[in-house]
Amino acid sequence: MIKAKSQPRILLLEDDLALAEVMSELFAEVGAITEAVPSIGGAIRAMRSFLPDLIVADLRLADGNGIDFVEYVRQREEGRAIPIIAVSAVVDKSTIATARRKGVDEYLIKPFQPAELLAVIRNHLQRQKAIAKLASREAHIQTVKMLANVIEARSKYTRGHSERVRRYALMLGEVLGWSDDEMVFLEFGALLHDIGKIQIPTEIIEKAGPLTPEEQALIETHPQVGAEMLRDVEHLKPVIPYVLYHHERCDGSGYPFHLPCEEIPPEGRLIAIADSYDAMVSNRPYREAKLKEVALAELMRGAGVLYDEEMVRAFVNLMQEGAPELHGRKGDDLR
């Protein structure tokens, strides 16, 4: 199937050629390319060569009833979600009801106002675009989740951590009023924040006793290793600050750059809270999980010292107001 990526394509089934030309010009006003066909046979042939973003169909045609074409489209897997707009001079209620039952989304009665048709077209094209965007984002998220799972599966202490951080981070981003675009990258950032741990040997991640200075130094490379891994992935570039700065702390005691609060990007400040909280309420190889109240009190003590003050307050409020507990007591480490 060939499908234009940038411009939406409309399949127009209309046997009045003069009207088809006027409508094609109209659709160009919303940036769409129109493929006009005068017959049902032609429309079926067109559907075999490309997948339209939208279909506009006259229902009374020389070679049959347009409803037959609507049925043909709806029976095909790839045709189920295409918006279909019927344009017809037939006004009786049963015809309109049948058209809707067979899968027509909108029914415009001829003669119609060009502005009316354009509004309907614009509305459906925008929805199609939004749906496609969501579907592609969901597909990306699934792939990224798989990547996070691969890294975490090496140790029972890291299993499920990124998914919980993702959910805590999204809750926090939402109460902080982050924009939709920011939330998209926040989700990826939360899932990928520890991706650099792929280079840390499992024995170190699972070590029960204190780490040697060399082992600690190795652990502290993971933000930069992760950022380096994402460097060449164009659509994940905005995720780098989450990976690179999630271990920075406001008093400069974090790593890798020992930045003070005002120099830590908000992405890093937010993940630091979600990440720390999940680590506190989970078992670590070297200690038991803390109770929720104890962890929240510890976060509050770190407000403005380790963590962004406003973000910590928002998070603690959120958790006290009954946000769901996500950790499974399986444990995690925050080294």
Marked catalytic residue, from 3, 110, 129, 197? 197
Q: Nearest to residue 315, comparing CAs of 173, 159, 207?
A: 173
Q: Nearest to residue 305, comparing CAs of 276, 335, 284, 282?
A: 276
Report in angstroms how near the CB of residue 334 gets to Fe ion at its nearest: 7
Distance CA 103, CA 93 (A): 16
Residues that bind Fe ion (CB under 5 A): 194
Report in angstroms how near the CB of residue 216 gets to Fe ion at its nearest: 13
Report in angstroms how near the CB of residue 246 gets to Fe ion at its nearest: 6
Distance CA 250, CA 257 (A): 11
Report in angstroms how near the CB of residue 13 gets to Fe ion at its nearest: 56
Q: Nearest-CB residue to Fe ion? A: 194
> For this structure, is 197 an active site residue?
yes
Cβ nearer to Fe ion, comparing 187 with 194: 194
Q: How far is CA 57 from CA 41, 49, 199, in A?
A: 13, 18, 57
Cβ nearer to Fe ion, comparing 95 with 224: 224
Cβ nearer to Fe ion, comparing 61 with 195: 195
Cβ nearer to Fe ion, comparing 15 with 194: 194
Distance CA 124, CA 52 (A): 12
What phi, psi does 60 have (nearest 5°)?
-105, 105
Q: Nearest to residue 4, comparing CAs of 121, 108, 129, 186?
A: 129
The catalytic site residues sit at 197
